A and B are shown apart, each in its own frame.
Chain A
Amino acid sequence: MSETAEKDQSLWLLTASPTFWAAHFLLCYITAAIWCAKVVGLGGSLASARVAIAVYTVLALAGIGIVGRVGYRRHSHGNATLPHDDDTPEDRHRFLGFATLLLSALSAVAVIYAGLVIFFFRSCY
């Protein structure tokens, strides 16, 4: 990875973890809604929907974990000093990496909070 290559400083990676969270959130809602409205009906068992949501949660956490790791690696790269606010490629690099890591942590917590619900709800009410 070249430190000055522009592609490595792209902002896109920053948005990856929150995107995993948003996709997880939507999928959980849509799955539960369709399952309860079209498949088992009111009072029906949520069992399969819970398994699906557990799978989404594991996948989302894995994705966020990978993004977080990449962010951490970029942050550890180079030796620009704190605070990373100089207009050098090195500072930019470390700053974006750190922000990616923090956003990944936040997204992971949010995904866990959404997924937590399946431990409590067993049927469609």
Chain B
Amino acid sequence: MTGGAIVIWIAVIALAIHAFRARPGSHSGRHANYLILGGGAIVPTIVLTALLIYGLAPIPALLAPAPEGSLKIAVSGEQWWWRVRYETSDADAVVLANEIHLPVGEPVEFRLESPDVIHSFWIPALGGKVDMIPGRVNRLSLTPTKIGVFRGACAEYCGTSHALMSFYVRVEEKAAFDRWLMRQRATALPPSTPLAKRGQASFLANGCGACHAIRGTPADGVVGPDLTHVGSRLSIGAGILPNKPKAFVHWIARTDQAKPGVLMPAFGMLPKADIEALAVYLEGLR
């Protein structure tokens, strides 16, 4: 891409130098016509054809089912976050949110869906974007080949905070991935400090559990993201805030400032100490 841009840039500059320095004065009309026809029609057509073929060629493999026994992950795009369900073969599914981990070198099949409006699932470093359409399940199969953290985003305008709907993908060794999935499958760590205990009590008392689940506690809401291990994520609020107690405070007290139009009410009316306790509790849910 950069290479192509540099070639075009050099060609244009070379032409400009040719026209103004090397051979000023009038040029033959015939040659100028060839330049317009070639540079304006023929070369772009050839380049676009090559790019089209280059872009079409990998698509069938991305849409085909992954081999039998591959990891299957259902991802649901919801205004404006991601519900992630690991459909493991041995036991029932593990419901998570806003972050995806993948074992390197292993094929994975995403099943993409949406309960509200059209979203589009896109991890530029790993594969093409695929729309998430209400009432349909679209498939995306790929095999990550590099270890690292990649950013994904929603690539189809889906409402006010569409631009604030991202996530991180961590590709890691199979062993590390298995350990991660085992920890994610487990129920939440009980709070250990008095502050965190107060946070848990506040979470249950203020109705957060009507929308959020924290497995292992009475909170079992399914409207918003599962928070069982929210403290283990690389970010909160679907890729928009760092996973730090301060960011939790901001999110809980001024949710609609962090994400305009958000479908979670702001809880700024809670006592400050409660909000801070909530933040410490949630950040500790590793």
Where the two chains meet, the residues of A that have a C-beta atom closer than 8 Å to any C-beta of B are 43, 105, 109, 112-113, 116-117, 119-123, 125
Number of interface residues of B (CB under 8 A): 14
**Stretch with Cβ within 8 A of A (4 or more), from B14-22, B57-65, B71-79, B161-169:** B57-65
B257 at the interface (CB under 8 A from A): no
Distance in angstroms from B66 CB to nearest chain A CB is 12
Interface: B52 (CB within 8 A)? yes
| Residue in A closest to B41 when the chains form the complex, CB atoms | A105
Contact assessment for A122 and B56 in the assembled complex, using a CB-CB cutoff below 8 Å: no
Known: A43-B65, A109-B45. A122 touches B53 (CB 8 A): no
> For residue B53, which residues in chain A have a CB less than 8 angstroms away from its CB?
116
Chain A residues positioned under 8 Å from B63 (CB to CB): 125
From A105, A112, A120, give the contact of B60 (CB < 8 A).
Answer: A120
Instruction: Give chain A nearest CB distance to B68 CB in angstroms.
Output: 14
Interface residues of B (CB under 8 A from A): 41, 45, 48-49, 52-53, 56-57, 59-60, 63-65, 139
Distance between Cα atoms of A93 and B52 in the complex (Å): 36
CB distance from A124 to the nearest CB of B (A): 10
Nearest-CB residue, chain A, relative to B45: A109
Are A121 and B60 interface neighbours, CB within 8 A? yes
Once bound together, how far apart are the Cα atoms of A125 and B60, in whole Å?
A: 8
Pair A116/B56 contact, Cβ less than 8 Å: yes
Q: Which of B48, B56, B64 contacts A125 (CB 8 A)?
A: B64
How far apart are A40's CB and chain B's nearest CB, in angstroms?
A: 15
CB pairs A–B below 8 angstroms (23 shown)? A43-B65, A105-B41, A109-B45, A112-B49, A113-B48, A113-B49, A113-B52, A116-B52, A116-B53, A116-B56, A117-B56, A119-B56, A120-B56, A120-B57, A120-B59, A121-B59, A121-B60, A122-B60, A123-B60, A123-B64, A125-B60, A125-B63, A125-B139
Contacts of B48 in A (CB 8 A): 113
Complex interface: chain B residues within 8 A of A109 (CB): 45
A101 to chain B, nearest CB (A): 12
- Cα separation A119 to B45 with both chains bound (whole Å): 19
Instruction: State the CA gap A119–B60 with chains docked (Å).
Output: 11
Cβ-closest 6 pairs across A and B: A125-B63, A120-B56, A121-B60, A109-B45, A120-B60, A113-B52
CB distance from A53 to the nearest CB of B (A): 14
Chain A residues lying within 8 Å of B59, measured Cβ to Cβ, are 120-121
For residue B51, give the distance in angstroms from its CB to the closest CB of chain A: 11
Complex formed: what's the CA distance from A119 to B49 in Å?
13
Known contacts A109-B45, A120-B60, A125-B64, then 11 further A-B pairs from the complex at CB < 8 Å, ordered by chain A residue: A43-B65, A113-B52, A116-B52, A116-B56, A117-B56, A120-B56, A120-B57, A120-B59, A122-B60, A125-B60, A125-B139
The CA-CA distance from A121 to B62 in the complex, in Å, is: 11
A125: chain B residues at CB < 8 Å are 60, 63-64, 139
Q: Compute how far the CA of A117 lies from the CA of B65 in the bound complex, rounded to whole angstroms.
A: 19
Chain A residues near B56 (CB-CB < 8 A): 116-117, 119-120
